[in-house]
Amino acid sequence: MNREDIVKELKELQSRISDARARLDKFDFEEKFNSVSKYLGKYYKEDDELFKTHIRCLYVHEIDEQCIPQSIIVSYFIDTDNYFGIEQYHHFNPDNTYSDDKWVEIDKEEFETHFNIVQDKITKSINSDLKK
């Protein structure tokens, strides 16, 4: 065996390693995607025992290329018109054990009710600013 044979053998091994890594990456992606795709198209509400007056609801509208659920979240306090919002949210994953957030699935109608409440708060805020 000479140097050229060893170089050839090394290149073949590198090619096999690259191929194995690509197959493993594909497997890992499919595994991640399958674990989070169960949330796609569903609606959730945060179940928070400490803040019963704070409402947070979300709708999972897509899974991004890194297998992270992308959501629209609406949030507000029941007892005040000073805090409310609609935003893009990309931290939703109830399978993560490091998060204290607890989410329960809700139906579309409940989500739309909370969404409409926030939209009304936004409209009131804009109208009050226009009167100044």
The DSSP annotation for 64-86 comes to -TTS-EEEEEEEEETT-SS-EEE
Q: Which residues of 22-53 are buried (b: 16+ CB within 10 A; e: fewer)?
A: eeeeeeeeeeeeeebeebeebbbbbeeeeeee
pLDDT bucket at 99, cuts 50 / 70 / 90 = low
If you search the block for the tokens 């306090």, which residue do you land on? Answer: 77
Question: What pTM did the predictor assign?
Answer: 0.74
Q: What is residue 16's predicted lDDT score, i.e. its pLDDT?
A: 93
Strand order in the sheet with 103-106: 84-89, 69-77, 54-63, 43-46, 103-106
Query: At residue 86, does pLDDT exceed 70?
Result: yes
Please list the residues that pair with 118 across neighbouring strands. none
The CA distance from 44 to 53, in Å, is 17
